[in-house]
Amino acid sequence: MVSSLIPQGAALRITEEISGGLIEENETLVVTGTVQVEAVPNDPDAVSLLMINTGSNPVMISLGTRPSSVNGISLLPFGGLISLTIKDDFLLPSRAWFCISPAGASYLYVLRLRVYKNT
């Protein structure tokens, strides 16, 4: 996982005003397959989540720990995506998400914005 502070600009300033704190981004590439994996862990400080299927097989994502070929949200190959924000989707960006690609390996690009806490 790559974690970094976002360069200064209008988009960052407005996002920080809305969320009430400094924002950092966490970027990952999750390799999916026929066995369920955690796409993103629970993060109570998350304010936005973007997941894009960049691979060649469909990816199923789910809040529960049982995504399958018939259970979950389907992200189509080569660009299927889901975008979640606290403004529109309440707590969904902060929840743990799981994924599987029953047809074979694929790649899930994940970008999560969170309120930065210097610990």
pLDDT given at position 2: 62
What's the pLDDT band for 53 if we cut at 50, 70, 90?
A: very high
Sign of the CA dihedral running 90, 94, 99, 105? positive
Highest mean pLDDT: which range of 13-17, 58-62, 113-117: 58-62
What's the pLDDT band for 105 if we cut at 50, 70, 90?
A: very high
For residue 67, pLDDT over 90 is answered with yes
Single-letter code of the amino acid located at 116? Y
Fold assignment, 28-111: Jelly Rolls (2.60.120)
Integer Cα distance of 29 and 34 in angstroms: 17
Q: What is the CA radius of gyration of the chain?
A: 15
For residue 4, pLDDT over 80 is answered with no
For residue 30, pLDDT over 70 is answered with yes
pTM above 0.95, yes or no: no
Domain ranges across the chain? 28-111
Instruction: Quote the mean pLDDT of the chain.
Output: 93
